[in-house]
Amino acid sequence: MPAPVQVAYTPIHKPRVGENNYQGFAPGRQEILPKGWKLCHETKALTEDLLVEHDVEIVVRDGCRLYVDIYRPANSSEKVPAIMGWSCYGKKYSSYHMFPRVVWNVCVNPSDLSGLEKFEGLDPQLWCPRGYAIISVDSRGTGNSDGQIPLMGSQDGEDGYDVVEAIAAKPWCNGRVGLAGNSALAISQWFTAQLAPPSLAAIAPWEGAADIFREQFCRGGIFSMSNFEMITEKSIRGGSGVEDLAEMYRRCKTSNTYWEDKRADMSNIQCPTFIVGSDLSSIHTMGSIRGWMEITHANKWIRWSGYQEWFELYCNKEMDAELHQFFDRYLIGIENDWEKTPQVRWTSLQFGDRNPRENLVYDNFPIPQTDYRELFLHENTLIQEPASSASSLSYNSEDPQNFAEFSFTFTDASRLIGLPKATLYMSCKEHDDMCVYVIIRKKGRDGTPLMHLNFPREVTPVQRIADIKPEQRTSTTLFLGPTGQLRASHRNYDLSKSIHPQFPFHPHDTEDKVTPGEIVKLEIGIWSMGIDFEAGETISIRVGGVFPSIAEYSAYHNPRPEEERNKGVHTIHFGPEHRSSIILPFIPLK
């Protein structure tokens, strides 16, 4: 059941014909799109006739009416499985219509899409000829569906459960339903699958957060609207409103029943699961990793990527073939040797104008052979033993360009894959709290900080990273390095709930303010890293008071409340009594 909390909602724009591909409300309408049909001159043509059922009504357990579009082969005499895409984006709001808003169209050409695909979902043009029905859902409160829009919690899960079972009972369905899609469509999979609908045969969450408090809106106890104000303004449409996350945080600035309802319990997931993730996202990385680590059964696979998620979904032919094989095995029942697929495949980034090293096969994640090495902060360096005398280093917490930096230069080629962790002893004389940010950067042999290009260079309009214009340097195009963050008043952690000693679980259930000038110990889990270093290259640990990477949002973001802002100088202490350090995951080179 949804959390017993009065939820605040904020109004959203109503659907309007012609906006975001909304085509009006047409319950019961059916049509056949013939082979060769195209949405427009630049999109992909259909290779077979396609039957489309618009605005099919499904009534869920509380009587709420939800509406779905069903795409299926027009001429099939066989019952087919269904793959469902679930989100609060309109069911006709497509990737084709969204991607022109993003730099370089995320390197997805219009000819890669039919325009029938739900944004971040599978394309019926490709999947229906393979013998699947594609179900595009207007979740509760979206489009013409009843209610107000819940965000990523048990209400979505219960509704998803009911729609899965309703689709499985359709006379054209073989009784097996899968869930697929990226980002919002992946997040929703965790919440539906944790309820184990009997007809849910397989899921493929590609880049999906699973704890909305800790991974997106209040990571480390530091509230941010993330990219959702932009999404609310530009993308989602419905008859009433959407959960007002800023107001819910204002009412309670610690984790409570409302926020805990938005943490999925992956240990309950029973169906085969194919996870894709990457180091590149500041939203989804740890949800993908926790999914892998907490699912208890053996029918799970994870593949770590080195490129932007939307590009991978629509343009990576190898990954598409694998997804096809996965669903053929579990939704159709074809014995196709899918089980021989390595269960853990990782990517190590090279940074600079070098492609990532992909498909590195390991026995598990975190990798069993990991050598966790603790390097200690001292002045501007990282050293192998704690400093013999006490010292400190300070930075202006209000200045984005001011940070403390600690570096180590490799004498041998090294590979670091896994979960880093920073332990920092810190103080602030001017304030009773600190928001502390950590980023791991890679530097070239000449000391220049490097970036990773999130697309294969051959599909971009540039020859080198240096050619990318400042306005094109966004979170979709470039990755600077893995980050961690923590508010000092939220420093308490619970090892019994931590997925790994390297990634402490912070309950965020109380605020423990800091006496100005008091030195406190901060355990900061840094999101997963996979980076190769050559001899002469440098790893840099930067600590500061402002988010140190490229944010996944920019528009419609309100200023932080005055009482939550950093103030003055933060000081990092090191020495025999204050062993500030970074633990890094070294992996044997293959």
Q: Residue 259 class from Cβ within 10 Å (0-12 exposed, 13-18 middle, 19+ buried)? A: buried
Residues 510-565: pLDDT tens digits? 999 999 999 999 999 999 999 999 999 999 999 999 999 987 665 335 667 778 89
DSSP characters for 196-243?
Answer: --TTEEEEEEES--SBHIIIIISGGG----TTHHHHHHHT---SSEEE
Residues present in the chain in total: 590
The single residue listed with the structure tokens 């989100």 is 87
| Together in a domain, 506 and 557 | yes
Has residue 223 got a pLDDT over 70? yes
Give the pLDDT of residue 553: 61
Which among 341, 361, 392 is the end of a domain? 341
Among the listed residues 454, 393, 412, 424, the one whose alpha carbon sits nearest the alpha carbon of residue 526: 424
| Together in a domain, 201 and 292 | yes
Which among 319, 341, 363 is the end of a domain? 341
| Together in a domain, 335 and 388 | no
Which among 341, 363, 393 is the end of a domain? 341
Average pLDDT, the chain: 95
Give the pLDDT of residue 229: 82
Cβ distance 545 to 435 under 8 Å? yes
Q: Residue 577 class from Cβ within 10 Å (0-12 exposed, 13-18 middle, 19+ buried)? A: exposed
Beta bridge partners of 440: 541
User: Do the domain assignments include residue 61?
Assistant: yes
| Together in a domain, 242 and 334 | yes
Average pLDDT over residues 402-414: 97
Residues 144-163: pLDDT tens digits? 999 999 999 999 999 999 99
The answer for 108, left when phi > 0, alpha when psi is -120 to 50, beta otherwise, is: beta
| Together in a domain, 111 and 242 | yes
| Together in a domain, 332 and 399 | no
Among the listed residues 194, 205, 128, 192, the one whose alpha carbon sits nearest the alpha carbon of residue 164: 192
| Together in a domain, 430 and 532 | yes
Quick check: helix, strand or coil at residue 328? helix
User: Do the domain assignments include residue 528?
Assistant: yes
Instruction: Give the count of domains, the chain.
Output: 2
Among the listed residues 127, 139, 246, the one whose alpha carbon sits nearest the alpha carbon of residue 184: 139
Has residue 138 got a pLDDT over 80? yes
User: Do the domain assignments include residue 532?
Assistant: yes
| Together in a domain, 315 and 386 | no
Give the pLDDT of residue 1: 67
% residues pLDDT > 70 (the chain): 98
| Together in a domain, 311 and 389 | no
Give the pLDDT of residue 230: 83
Average pLDDT over residues 320-324: 98
Cβ distance 210 to 283 under 8 Å? no
| Together in a domain, 170 and 213 | yes
User: Do the domain assignments include residue 364?
Assistant: no
| Together in a domain, 389 and 328 | no
User: Do the domain assignments include residue 480?
Assistant: yes
User: Do the domain assignments include residue 362?
Assistant: no
Average pLDDT over residues 339-347: 98
Could you tell me the residue range of the domain that residue 232 belongs to?
Answer: 9-341
Residues 249-308: pLDDT tens digits? 999 999 999 999 999 999 999 999 999 999 999 899 999 999 999 999 999 999 999 999
Q: Select the more confidently predicted residue: 498 or 560.
A: 498
Average pLDDT over residues 193-211: 98
User: Do the domain assignments include residue 355?
Assistant: no
Cβ distance 261 to 2 under 8 Å? yes
CATH code: domain of residue 400: 2.60.120.260
User: Do the domain assignments include residue 366?
Assistant: no
Residues 427-461: pLDDT tens digits? 999 999 999 999 999 999 999 999 999 999 999 99
| Together in a domain, 333 and 409 | no
CATH code: domain of residue 200: 3.40.50.1820
